[in-house]
Amino acid sequence: MAMNKNTVLAWATTIMILVGLLLIGLGAFKYDDVAGWGFAAVGLGFFAIAWVFNALKGRV
């Protein structure tokens, strides 16, 4: 399977969305103290980076 730049960015976007969902889920359901807010904030950061990766598809 040949992977060009667009498929690499698509895989990176998919993986980062999954990790972001996992981190938000950890923050929402496992930790009820301040650490939960930190996990959720990092999960939102993963979403932002995945959005940038998705915007870069076709331009690099």
pTM: 0.83
- 21-42 as b/e: b if 16+ CB within 10 A: eebbebbeeeeeeeebeebbee
pLDDT at residue 14, rounded to an integer: 94
Q: How many CB atoms lie within 10 A of CB 48?
A: 11
pLDDT at residue 59, rounded to an integer: 79
Identify the domain containing residue 18 by its residue range.
Answer: 5-56
Contact 20, 12 (CB under 8 A): no
Count of domains in the chain? 1
| pLDDT class of 49 with cuts at 50, 70, 90 | very high
Mind listing the pLDDT tens digit for each residue in 15-39? 999 999 999 999 999 988 899 999 9
What is the C-alpha separation between 56 and 10, in angstroms, rounded? 10
